[in-house]
Structure 1
Amino acid sequence: MTSLVTLFLYMLGGAALGCIMLLTGIPAAPLLGSILGAGLLSISGQLEVAAWPLGTKTILGIAIGTVIGTGINRETLGELQLLWKPALIITFTLLIAGILVGLLISKLLGVDQTVALLGAAPGGTIGMSLVGAEFGVGAAVAALHAVRLITVLFLIPAIVNFLAPAGSIDVTK
């Protein structure tokens, strides 16, 4: 089977589960579903490992960044005037926690230090996987971030709904 056909089948599997997940009402369901769909297909061993054409991941990263960037507007900048202090605290706390957790995982569990540090870093799956690829550990870093992302997408909306005061917005809608 050609690599383009294999890639198409992965995209079909991701798109199928992504569309089905839309019915769940889970936030970011298409993202979660596509990760699970393509991941399960890959784990099944029925297809070869996906070989993306050169530059494809970069183009997709740019597209995802553009989608996120279009959500930044004047209202967002206004909110940042109030939220810049919490944003800095959150950022530095996550960075320090990621470094500490990465070092701890490396020392206690024998995981390669580069994999552990990049896997525990508070970045997105695509970004950290690309950084990991530059260090020769992209697949391992992607696996750690995929587990983190799937777990967060499943748990955090339920936790927010549980802990949010009465009358707050329901994040599953």
Structure 2
Amino acid sequence: MTSLVTLLVYLLGGAALGSLMLISGIPAAPLLGAMLGAGLLSISGQFDVAIWPLGTKTVLGIGIGTVIGTGINPETIEELQLLWKPALVITFSLLITGIFVGLLINRFFGVDKIVALLGAAPGGTIGMSLVGAEFGVGAAVAALHAVRLITVLFLIPAIVNFLAPIQGIDLPK
């Protein structure tokens, strides 16, 4: 099978499960479904490893960065005027915790220190995987973040739904 056909199979698998997951109501369902769809095809052993054309990951990274960037607007800046202190506390506590957990994973599980630190770092799967790729460990970092992301996407909405009535939070319908 040519690498272009292989990529098409992965794209179709990711698109199919990503689209199917839309009906689940899970936050970020298309992303989660696409990751699972392509990942399941990959681990099945039935298809070659996907070889992306040179520059594809860079173009996708720029696209994702652009999508995120377009979400920054005047209202976001207004919110940051109120939220900058909590944002700094959250950021630095996650950084410190990530470094601590990464070093623990390295020490007790023997995971490569770079993989452990990047895998435990706060950040998105794509961003941290791209950073990992720069160090030659992108796949391992992607695997750790994929497990984290899938777990978080399944658990946090359930936890919020459980705690909302207890805390008197009105959730949107």
Same fold at TM > 0.5: yes
Once residues 100 and 16 of structure 1 are traced to their aligned partners in structure 2, the CA distance between those partners, rounded to angstroms, is 38
1:143: Cα distance to partner?
0.6
Give, in angstroms, the shift of residue 159 of structure 1.
Answer: 1.1
RMSD of aligned Cα (Å): 1.1
Matches within 5 A, 1:3-22: 3-22=3-22
Q: Which has the higher contact order (CA 8 A, sep 6+)?
A: 1
CA deviation string 1:2-54 (max 9, x = no partner): 10100000000000000100011111100000000000010101100000001
Tell me, yes or no, if structure 1 residue 169 matches structure 2 residue 171: yes
Counterpart in the other structure of 1:104? 104
* Unaligned ranges ≥5, structure 1: none
Counting only pairs closer than 5 Å after superposition, residues 19-168 of structure 1 correspond to structure 2 as 19-164=19-164, 165-168=167-170
Which runs of 5 or more residues in structure 2 are unaligned?
none
Amino acid at match of 1:77: I
Once the two structures are overlaid, the 10-residue window that deviates more, 15-24 or 63-72, is: 63-72
Paired amino acid for 2:45 = G
How far apart are residue 128 of structure 1 and its match? 1.1
TM-score normalised according to structure 1 size: 0.95
Give distance in 1, aligned partners of 2:110 and 2:83: 38
* Post-superposition offset of 1:167: 4.8
**Matched-pair identity in %:** 81
Amino acid at match of 2:68: I
Inter-partner Cα distance in structure 2 for 1:130 and 1:67:
17
CA-CA distance at 1:155 after TM superposition = 0.9
- The number of equivalent residue pairs is 171
